[in-house]
Structure 1
Amino acid sequence: MMADLHVLENLDPATVAEGVADGRFLLVDVREPSEYDTEHIEGALLFPLSTFDPASLPDPEGRAIVFQCAAGGRSARAAEAAMAAGIPGRHLAGGLAAWKRAGLPTTR
């Protein structure tokens, strides 16, 4: 899957869950630590938008990075910043709220 570096890719919860499970996606949660500590998606790495620097993103080790937040706004901004740095911009459309509406599990 070749991503266009100029187009934000909106991914639905089922696609993200499948990609995380099969090792294609590295999920990066851009919410704040207090939000993450309250509830998060298993395996998501915390990388708050408030201190976001695309150059500091972890090596995805061959996986595509997918950004995630509570409702989709912050993750879209993180993905746009990543695209500006040459990293394909993908995010979980609707964020954690959409994930939960889809009946997918979270960790508390």
Structure 2
Amino acid sequence: MAIGYKQMLDEAAAEVRSVGTAEARALHDAPEVVFVDIRDPRELERDGMIPGAHSAPRGMLEFWIDPESPYHKPYLAEDKLFVFYCASGWRSLLAAQVAQRMGLRCASLSGGFGDWRRAGHPVADGHHP
């Protein structure tokens, strides 16, 4: 029997560390932490992003993480904590689960970029490299 998205989210939440906006803000300037925005480039352009975050669209994440892939991004091979986020936290929770299974140290921003922005934390213009 197939599982639904709620079960997938519950399973990911059991595996992946979640951080709220206050903790994420405290981690934001730490040199050993990398924020990764997995939203679509159109979302970045429309809504902005967390300053200094890397854009890694969800559809390319596994390819960008795997060093054997021709699409590998070296920053995803660094020994750092990767804080994944999306608009509300669901996509990033699943993305963090996959990244963690691929060997990265991960956390997911619960409440996502929406909670970050509502908390009054800094927002940069969105761009997609």
TM range (shorter): 0.7 to 0.9
1:99 corresponds to 2:108: no
Q: What one-letter code is carried by the residue in structure 2 that aligns with 1:42? A: P
Return 5+ residue gaps in structure 2 as ranges: 1-13, 67-71
Cα deviation for residue 69 of structure 1 reads 0.6
What TM-score does the superposition give when structure 2 sets the normalisation length? 0.71
Return 5+ residue gaps in structure 1 as ranges: 1-5
Query: How many residues are aligned here?
Result: 103
Higher helix residue share: 2
- Aligned partner of 2:51 among 33, 42, 66: 42
Q: What one-letter code is carried by the residue in structure 1 that aligns with 2:43? A: E
Distance 1:93 1:73, change over 3 A: same
Pairing of 1:1-108 with structure 2 (within 5 A): 7-38=15-46, 39-53=48-62, 54-55=65-66, 56-57=72-73, 58-59=75-76, 61-108=78-125
What TM-score does the superposition give when structure 1 sets the normalisation length? 0.83
Moved over 6 A (4+): none
Greater Cα radius of gyration, structure 1 or 2: 2
Deviations 1:49-72 (Å, cap 9, x if unpaired)?
A: 022213235246443111011000
Percent sequence identity over aligned pairs: 29
Q: Distance in 1 between matches of 2:39 and 2:19?
A: 18
SS of corresponding position for 1:42: coil
Q: Distance in 1 between matches of 2:77 and 2:60?
A: 19
